[in-house]
Every structure is written in structure tokens, then in C-alpha cells.
Structure 1
């Protein structure tokens, strides 16, 4: 049975829910029931043997967990004598029996249904008198592995998730990254590693600290399977929202992944993968969301652990925590000597330039650039995300840059590479086509400057071109007679006293000598000025848009004058018509 027909069958359950449930709530029933039926089918062949093993080990006073998993040949099992077919055979006791069946699963699977708050839905369906009808529908759904492979089941599941996301823009925005953005990110992190990833039996670790419903992990796996069907991606993730976490975990379970690698909780305050390192990472953290709730834990880690913790380089302002996820990912990179890492993270414009020299944001940029970790930044079209129309950027970060990229950063302006969507979804009105995604990946892969029709698309800079020194320019205090005032005691004795009212700062590019800049830009205007060396700070910013600005010459005065005359003429005519 084709996966689209299958998801249509599952979707038909919506007809039963209509009236008792709002459209945006259908997923609360259909997703956990889909998972339940799939697990029901997967466990069917070993069910009798597992029940026998369970009874035997229990009688011997042993924990049956490991034994039952071995008999099932899976990371999970169900020790209840019930299954969906048996449940449907006892219509009068459907509610309590369904709950008992869920309780029979091994703990990791039970956790999925708890996070879905499935018991609440069972009660609600029972009160609406449709629990039996819904269970009956799913009991006959053909989800056996012989009929639907793990990969196809994953696609069915994702299609259902997508449909629910479309019904609820709020959910879509918070827990859903557009597929084409993920595909572009996956292309960017894998593009330079084609040779390695094509080797038979290759195994790589992938991590998403803001996993949502698991979309990024799934797309990465699909992409790698196309490149190399024998490659294996071991997926890890952490998610804050319980329902999204349950969906992600269920999706990973269906795909045969170890669901112990998917953790519930706030990544910033409780790192669920402490001490682990990964080959590849992907993340779309929340933009412009404050981190006040976790401030105490984050500051403590920053102050007490420094660079041994995750937040050594610095802390951004409390109003936007997205750069904390950047730091978190940096801490999860496999050391270069062990093969290194590459990751892609979506950020808004703020992390490119917010904060002057010495600020937390600037110090984070400084750490990334001075350690030569930034490979590229790709500027995306606006109106690409479900919950925001603002400009967004993909940062590609790696500690194993190829030789031609060392010491350099590639900026790619893909803001014009979009097509209009047939139907808007929330703030999302635009999408990138497969051809446009391939185009950006190719531009990145070639690591070259590109100009089209006189417009720059790709530019390459040396790391230090984003750095500057903020120098403090002092001028002397003078008495009423205009003479300079000298210090009378301490370390200022005999030295010029600075006039705080005349104090100024200048930003000098790192690519320029401070003395030369000072002699050229300051001395001609203030011959008595000097630099207070102790106050000099190094800063970094990435003025992305400035590097892609194309000057458009103003129109001629004659053209503007003619237009003004035409507009004036129209106004006079309109006023004349009013007076008639």
C-alpha cells in the first residue's frame, strides 16, 4: 500500500473526531494511535515468545527487561497479553484495556505515550463515545513491517506531522522548520564529505539540540541514504516541548533508532548529552527569545567552568538566547584530531552585529573567527519561516576546514533565490526550489566568489577583515588660560589629565595599523589627542548586507522634475473636479 494512501486512511479517522475535537487537536489522537498500531504490528511476530520469557524471568525474581528485548530482537517490547485486535474484541472494556496495554510497554515507550498525554485522550474519546470506533480503525491499519518499511513508515509519520503543522500555524512555527531549509542545511554540512560518506558501512553521529519533532534528523538520514544506502546515521536530540519530544521519539523508534538518544528538557540549563561529541549537528533555535528562566544555571556554568563548560567565550544579552545554542554546539564538536565536526545553525540578523567590542556577542564572534571555525554564512530569503518574516541566516561552522578555506569566511547571499508558494502558511509565503538549493550548495562547495548580472552572490573574506579595535581617544584638560593640566600625585603625576567631556572612541579595522589610522583620521583634527592604550578593546562584527550592497545611481533631476510636474498636474485636476 502506498504511503500516501496509508496516511489518507489514517487521516480518515479525522472524520470520526470532527465535532468532538478542533482540527488543530486531531494530532493529539492520530499521532499516538499511529505509533501504537505500528508498534503493535512490529511486536506481533515475537509477542508469544516475549510473554513466555517475561513470565519465566518474573517467576525467577529477575528483572525481565534485557531478556525480553533480546527475545523481541528490538530495543522495546510489550508484556501485556493484549494487542489492538484483542482490544477490539472486548467493546465494553475498551478504555481500561487500552490503558493496561499501554502500561505493558517497556519504560522508554511508555514515556512516549505519557508525553503525548495519551491517557487524557483515551478518557476524552470515551466520554465522546468514539473510543471504540477510533481504536477499531487503527486495529485494521496495515502497518506491518512486511507491508511498510521503516523508511516508508517514517515518511507516513512525517506527512501526518506536516498536515497537523499546517492546521496549526502556532505549532508549525514553534516546532517545525520548513523542509527546504532543512534540506539546504543538510546539503551544506554533507557537501564536502561526499567521498567519506560514500564508503560502505560508514557510521556517523548527528545531533540536534532543538530537535522539535525530529524533522532535521529525518531529512539528514534521508539525504545520506540516497548518497549511500549502506551508511548509518546515529541520531541524537534534545527537545523542551513534551508533545514535540514525544513525536520525535516516536519517529526515531519507527525508524529503528535508539530512542535513549532523544532527551526531554531544556538544553541550555540541563545538557542531556553531557560530555558527548558529534560528527554533524543541525539546529534551528528560537529567535529573539529571552533566556531569563535559565539565567542562573547558565551564568553559574559560565563563571565556574569557563572554557571547560559550554559558555566560556561570553554570554549574549538576556533578551536573545540564540547565541547560547551556537556556544552549546561548539562545545559538542569532535576534536579535529579525532575527525572533527561540521554544523549548521539558523540565526536571525542580530548575532551578526549586535554588541560592541567587549560585549558577550562580540566575544562569541571573536572566539569563532579567531579559532577559524566559521566556514560560511548563507543569507536566506525573507518570509521563509511559519512564525516570522524576518531575515535569517545559516551559519556553517567546522573545525576541519579544507585547506582552501583556512583563514577565510564565505558569505553567500541567497535572499533572491525563492519562489512564491501557492498557499501561504502563517508568515511563510516563499520557498526554495530543489534547483535553488542545489545552486547554493554548489556555490558553497566551490568556495569561490560569484557575481551574476553585476550582482555579487558569493564573497570571500579573511577572518581578520571582520575584526576591529575600539580605541579611546583622549584630549587634555586645560585651565582658564588654555594651558594643559598635569596630574599632581600618584601614577598621574606629571602626566596629562584627560578631559572626560572630550573623550571619544574610534573603530580601527584589524587589517590597519592603529598608528597610521590615528595619524590620518584623528591628528589633523585634534593635534593634542592621544590613545589610552589600556582601554583598547578588540571586537568583531559581520555586516553581511553591507558586503552585498549594490549602488544604484539616483535618477536625473530632469526625470524627477518631470514626475513632480505630472503628479502636481493630477492634483490640480482632482481639486478642480471637487470645486465643480
Structure 2
């Protein structure tokens, strides 16, 4: 198995071949329910193997003394879990395999047993026993070397994720939605932790926290813990990272639990880190509601609906406002990724306690979805006006397993250094990648270690360059003003107007007799011109005199004006009863004015040269600051990093077209010969 273990994908494929034994007894959509828990079981078994004899003898000697084994046995194993059974996968026997395996699993400490409970492993074992494949699978896994000295934890984490992707492909489900490629994981962790390396090194014994609300198989957390461990190799000391997280899917949560059970911290080797990994929906059931963290990281599903969480999220938003997690307006239910932005912000340690920083991987939609005043824009406004967006890094396309779309890493911080205050750094890393020799789904590219270091250096230096822009937070904001034009219309009764009237809803609601009576009356005014207000007085007088016309309402008057109104730019503006200019609804327009620009100056330079009678609707105001115009925010990477490409020379284009025509003619000649 040495060669197999040298490559995590090869090891995962080797493990998955056990599915061949299951054909006929299990549907292919159920293969993962066997392969994944057996992989975890074998890994735990290999980890405990060096201390197995000592644990068994200690348990036997003290079993009847009323002592708490959770206090006695973990110090022996060196991990916060243990197993007191005399069995392992290789010694279950062929005659009572099921009973012995059940006894073996029940002999794990409670924090390890829960892993198999979440897989509903007892029922899976029973099915395998009935199908006559249980003993064979146990023997197969017993032969796979998963000892930590052979398969490091990072490799094992890759194996778990590879198996889950394989399982997802088998059942045609989005099992990779929570899978973050290792290069993206490593980049996010480096961006998150690298700026604080001096703090870590200069403060021996520092204890810090790392939290992932969409922990998946714990890839981010594991990478973060390994990152700080490298500091010990380089500088002789490293901080202690205490991991926290929450996961929605029980099977994935079980993998994360197993991963955390196998991790220890030097200052407290007996601490059970799996106790910090919670099960449930983070948005509607935050099980770490009273906790804040030094570092946060997340890759929430792209474009996933949050309707299952909607009731609880809306309740928190309504009742707690900015005292809770979801203070600004809420995004549309079709995509909940921006809710995780707000959630992470709420989880950052208070600034007076040192503050916190977060890295979150998102698609492009949170940068620009939603117009001024809508939920998405209001969330961006909240983040930018509170100066917590430190940087946004645009990643290459085709680096994720299930999508080729552009992705971004947002860095949030409530402890910005002085030179970053009021600023947002945009980094364009879209061209920083290496092609993969073999595609993994939609993943055709990767970010190399050298490129990761280059991106992190750009972020750390915070200097302007072709790929790095330092923007004022206000640069992303604008006011959406409502621009009106005076109504300059007259009333002309015409055949064309009657055709328009037939399409009006208020007219269609009239009976045939009423329509006929109105038509006869209006035709008496054919081809004559009247001012805008004539319709109302004419219709009211007519309705009073002739009951056959039916009851007059505002909707009918509006329909008559819509049908017979004719725009005439030479007319004076229509004045209402209060002496104010009446706006022409059909000519209403909206303009986005940069926040740094005075709206009247904008009107004068950008609008009036094209529409000299235009004016701003002073009643169209922002709810928050009560200024004229609705405030909005968007972050348009393409605009900021756009490079003008001059058009090609016409002679060059003509030459190419002529060459194509000649090739086509030659091909046609061959066909006709």
C-alpha cells in the first residue's frame, strides 16, 4: 500500500473499489453510506492501535471500580477518545461478524460513537449482514493501511473529500457544494492568518480561536491549524488554535467530528475538540450564538436558497434588528450567501478584546446583485459604511469542482490597521493559475503555492499596482436619483386614440352599452384639441347628465388621458391644482450619482445638456439618511480593472476574411469535383 498512500486520490479510488463487493445488495446511491463510515472506522482503529493493549488491560482492571473511563483512558491513547473492545476489523470472525462489529463500535467512547450514529451505521451493518457482504468488507478495510505515520491527517482529509465527491457523482447530487479545493482553502487561510504571524511569534502561549459556520469536512479548520504548526518549525513556538464550527449535513458533520477527534493541542492534549463542532443550520439555529472568535472562515454554497431558514431569519431580523446578526434588509430568498457575510461579521471578536478577521469565499453575485435600497445593496452598504471590508480578491475561473464561474475571497475585519481604515483593497488574481493535467469536474485550473504566496504578498503590502487597487469605501456608493420631466400634453380625440382606449383595463370593465355611450359622446369632439385638465371636467359633467355612461371613477379618467393624450414639446408644463408642475410619468428616469458628486452638479453636467427641462424629485429620499436619492453600493471588478483594447486594423480583418473565403471556396470545389 505504500504507493497507494502516496497519492490521496489513488487511495480514495482504492477504497472506493470496495463498492464492487456491494453490487446486487446495495443500490449505487447507497455505496457512500458503507464506504465513508468504514473509512472513518479504519482510520480511528489505526490511530488507536499503538495503545490498544494498554487500554484494554486498564479497562479490564478498573471496570468494576466505578471510575470514569473518560478521565482514565484518553491520557493513555493520547487522544480524547478510546475503544475498549478486544476486536478490530481484522478479528471480527466470519460467523458472528455483525454481532462482533456492533460490540466493537459500542465500545468506543461516546464522542466517537456519535459519528456512526449519524451515519445510521447500525442499519447499514444489518443490511450488509443480510446480503452476505459484511465480513468481506471488514476484511478489505482491515488490509488498508491508514496509520498516521503512513497517511498524514491532511492527506486523510483529502481522501474524505474525494470519497464524498465520488459519492455525490454516483447519486447525481451536489455533494461538492461544500467542497472547497485545497488550493483555495490554503489561499484563504494564508490571507487570514499570515498578517498576524509576528503577533503569533512574539506572544508564546497565545490561544486563539478559528470558526467555520459551514465546516463541511473541516478542510479550512484543519488547514488553519496546520498553518500555525509550521510556525513552530520556523520560529520554535506557535499559538494554540481552538477550532469551532457548525455543519448542516449529518454525514459531513460526522467526518468533521472524526477529524477533530484526531487533533490535539500541545497545551491541553486531552481536550476533545470535536465538542466544538455542532450539527444544524447556522442561519436558523446558531448553536454558538454567544461565542465570538478571533478568526472566521467559510465557503457557503453558491446561489443556494434559504427558504428553509426564512422563518427564523426573518424573525431575528424583525425582532433584533442590528442587535442580532441580520440588521440590514434581507437578500432575496434565492441566494443566502450574503446572510453568511452578516453572520461572520457578528462572530468577530469585539475590537476591545483584540477584534477579529474573516475570510469568506463567494460567487460574483454578492458584489452587485440588488439595486439601491434592496437587501443585497443594503448589506454591502452596512459592511462598507462600517468599514469592515478589508480586501476582495478575484480568483481564476474553473477552479471549483462543480462550477466554472468567477469566485472571490472577501476579507472582513473589525481591527483594521491605520493605513487600511476607510479603504478597500481589490486584487485581480484571475490570471494567476496553472492548468490541471486532468480536470476534476469543472476544476481545470489550480493556484500554485508560488502564486498563493504572490497573492498574499500583494494583500500584505497593500500597495497600488496593476493587479492591486486601493479604493475609498465611498467609491462603491451612489445615490439613485429620480429625474422627472414636466408633462407637456394635450388631449386630442382621434381614431388612433380610440384604438388605444380599447386596450385600457378600466375601459374593458365597462359594459357594451356604457362603452357605446362614451364613444358617441367623445366622437362629438373628434379632431378638436383640449388642454390636459379638460378630460376630467368633461367626463364629470357628462356622467352627471347621463346615467347611461355609468359611474365615473379615477381609473376611467386615467384611461382616457392615456388614450387621447398627445405629447407636444412646445406646450407649457401642465400645472396641478396646487400650482405645481405635473411630471410626465412616461419620461421618468433614474440616474446613479457617485456619492462624492453633488446631485445638482450631476444634473447640470450629465442630464440638462440632453433634457433642459429635467429636474430631480426631491421627495424620492433614502430611508436611512433622509437625503434625496436612494443610496446604493456595488463593487464592479470589471469596471475597475478594465483595460482598453484598441480595435484591430481594418486591413488585417479584411485579409483574414479573404483567407476564410478562399478556404471555403476551395472546400466547395473539392465537393463538386
Q: Is the 8 A contact 1:153 1:255 kept in 2?
A: no
1:227-376 equivalence runs, <5 A: 227-228=231-232, 230-256=238-264, 257-376=272-391
Other structure's SS at 1:318 match: coil
Select between 6-15 and 463-472 the one with higher mean Cα deviation.
Answer: 6-15
Q: Is the 8 A contact 1:88 1:135 kept in 2?
A: no
Is 2:648 the partner of 1:555? yes
Partner of 2:413: 398
Partner of 2:607: 522
Give how far 1:486 is off: 3.4
Q: Is the 8 A contact 1:213 1:245 kept in 2?
A: yes
Point out the structure with max Rg over C-alpha: 2
Residue 530 to residue 571, structure 1, CA distance change in 2 (3 Å): same
Is 2:665 the partner of 1:572? yes
Distance 1:433 1:13 in 2: 28
Q: 1:437-464, CA deviations, whole angstroms, 9 ceiling, x for partnerless residues?
A: 11111111110122xxxxx311111110
Give how far 1:562 is off: 2.0
Give how far 1:91 is off: 4.4
Q: 1:523-573, CA deviations, whole angstroms, 9 ceiling, x for partnerless residues?
A: 233333321233110000000112111111111122222222222333333
Other structure's SS at 1:98 match: helix
Runs of 5+ unmatched residues, structure 1: 59-63, 451-455
Distance 1:290 1:166 in 2: 21
Residue 250 to residue 470, structure 1, CA distance change in 2 (3 Å): same
Q: 1:149-203, CA deviations, whole angstroms, 9 ceiling, x for partnerless residues?
A: 7x96523522432442463464662232110101100111112111112232221
Partner of 1:95: 98
Distance 1:408 1:84 in 2: 61
Residue 463 to residue 139, structure 1, CA distance change in 2 (3 Å): same
Q: 1:357-382, CA deviations, whole angstroms, 9 ceiling, x for partnerless residues?
A: 00100001001111111111111111
Give how far 1:137 is off: 5.9
Other structure's SS at 2:96 match: helix
Is 2:5 the partner of 1:4? yes
Give how far 1:415 is off: 0.8
Partner of 1:56: 65
Other structure's SS at 2:366 match: helix
Residue 200 to residue 499, structure 1, CA distance change in 2 (3 Å): same
1:445-460 equivalence runs, <5 A: 445-450=460-465, 456-460=466-470
Partner of 2:556: none
Select between 17-26 and 282-291 the one with higher mean Cα deviation.
Answer: 17-26
| RMSD of Structure 2 on Structure 1 (CA) | 3.0
Give how far 1:109 is off: 2.0
Select between 520-529 and 415-424 the one with higher mean Cα deviation.
Answer: 520-529
Give how far 1:140 is off: 7.5
Is 2:512 the partner of 1:502? no
Partner of 1:204: 208
Residue 6 to residue 83, structure 1, CA distance change in 2 (3 Å): farther
Residue 477 to residue 156, structure 1, CA distance change in 2 (3 Å): closer
Give how far 1:351 is off: 0.6
Give how far 1:77 is off: 5.0
Is 2:221 the partner of 1:217? yes
Q: 1:320-374, CA deviations, whole angstroms, 9 ceiling, x for partnerless residues?
A: 1111111111111111111111111111111111111001000010011111111
Residue 498 to residue 156, structure 1, CA distance change in 2 (3 Å): closer
Partner of 1:107: 110
For 2:399, which of 384, 391, 401 is the aligned residue? 384
Residue 193 to residue 120, structure 1, CA distance change in 2 (3 Å): same
Distance 1:167 1:445 in 2: 37
Distance 1:510 1:350 in 2: 22
Give how far 1:224 is off: 1.0
Q: Is the 8 A contact 1:88 1:94 kept in 2?
A: no
Distance 1:449 1:211 in 2: 34
Partner of 2:160: 161
Residue 215 to residue 98, structure 1, CA distance change in 2 (3 Å): same
1:425-504 equivalence runs, <5 A: 425-450=440-465, 456-478=466-488, 480=490, 482-488=571-577, 493-504=578-589
Is 2:630 the partner of 1:537? yes
Give how far 1:487 is off: 3.6
TM-score, normalised by the number of residues in structure 1:
0.88
Q: Is the 8 A contact 1:469 1:537 kept in 2?
A: yes
Q: Is the 8 A contact 1:207 1:281 kept in 2?
A: yes
Q: 1:104-136, CA deviations, whole angstroms, 9 ceiling, x for partnerless residues?
A: 334332211111232233224423434335445
Distance 1:114 1:547 in 2: 51
Q: 1:298-334, CA deviations, whole angstroms, 9 ceiling, x for partnerless residues?
A: 1111111111111112211111111111111111111
Other structure's SS at 2:66 match: helix
Q: Is the 8 A contact 2:93 2:135 kept in 1?
A: no
Distance 2:289 2:410 in 1: 23
Give how far 1:475 is off: 2.4
Give how far 1:521 is off: 1.5
Q: Is the 8 A contact 2:396 2:407 kept in 1?
A: yes
Q: Is the 8 A contact 1:10 1:141 kept in 2?
A: no
1:28-43 equivalence runs, <5 A: 28-38=36-46, 40-41=48-49
Distance 2:155 2:127 in 1: 26
Other structure's SS at 2:177 match: helix
Partner of 1:82: 85
Distance 1:317 1:154 in 2: 39
Give how far 1:10 is off: 9.5
Q: Is the 8 A contact 1:206 1:233 kept in 2?
A: yes
Partner of 1:127: 130
Select between 176-185 and 39-48 the one with higher mean Cα deviation.
Answer: 39-48
Other structure's SS at 1:396 match: strand
For 2:20, which of 2, 18, 21 is the aligned residue? 18
Q: 1:246-282, CA deviations, whole angstroms, 9 ceiling, x for partnerless residues?
A: 0111011011351111111111111121121011111
